[in-house]
Homo-oligomer: A and B are copies of this chain.
Amino acid sequence: MNAEPLFQAEISLEIPFHDLDPAGYVWHGHYAKYLELARCELLKQFNYNYDAMTQSGYMWPVVDLQLRFVRPLRFGDRVKVRASLVEWEYRLRIEYLISSAATGERLTKASTVQVAVSAASGEMCLRSPDILFERLGVPA
């Protein structure tokens, strides 16, 4: 793993009613959407969002998702979701922190791993393709 995140992005969001469960908290499965919103913002930073991925001839499916729920989220809560790119050579590993916009309290920690799959062959790439390094601006 690389020591420092190469790129970082942060989004703000307000918890919507339709994500709540009968206890009045966000149902745990909905968090994957929040992570994705921050991930897309991160990918935009190096011009490699989903549209660009497709155009580059690669899909980047999520192959691993981990979520640790520290504090529940309620209707109307304002939170920040920060996404940090921490690995890229062999796979894209992104770490996430959801925190209270008001107090900064840490509410959720998460990570995703994505690997490159060639759209043409359907084969998984053992190493990230050159296009990623170009976009990141780092040597391959």
Chain A residues close to B by CB (< 8 Å): 16-18, 20-25, 27-30, 32-33, 36-37, 40, 49-51, 54, 59, 61-70, 72, 75-76
Q: Are B59 and A64 in contact (CB under 8 A)?
A: no
Q: Residues of B contacting A22 with CB < 8 Å? A: 17, 20-24, 50, 54, 75
A21 to B20 alpha-carbon distance, docked (Å): 6
Q: Residues of B contacting A18 with CB < 8 Å? A: 21, 27, 29, 32-33, 36
Q: Are B65 and A61 in contact (CB under 8 A)?
A: no
Q: Are B32 and A21 in contact (CB under 8 A)?
A: no
Q: Residues of B contacting A17 with CB < 8 Å? A: 21-22, 36, 40, 50
A32 to B17 alpha-carbon distance, docked (Å): 11
Q: Residues of B contacting A61 with CB < 8 Å? A: 23, 25, 28, 69, 72
Q: Residues of B contacting A40 with CB < 8 Å? A: 16-17
Q: Are B76 and A51 in contact (CB under 8 A)?
A: yes
Can you name the residue of chain B whose Cβ is closest to the Cβ of A68? B64
Q: Are B29 and A36 in contact (CB under 8 A)?
A: yes
Nearest CB of B to A61, in Å: 7
Shortest 5 CB-CB contacts between residues of A and residues of B: A29-B32, A28-B62, A65-B67, A22-B24, A20-B22
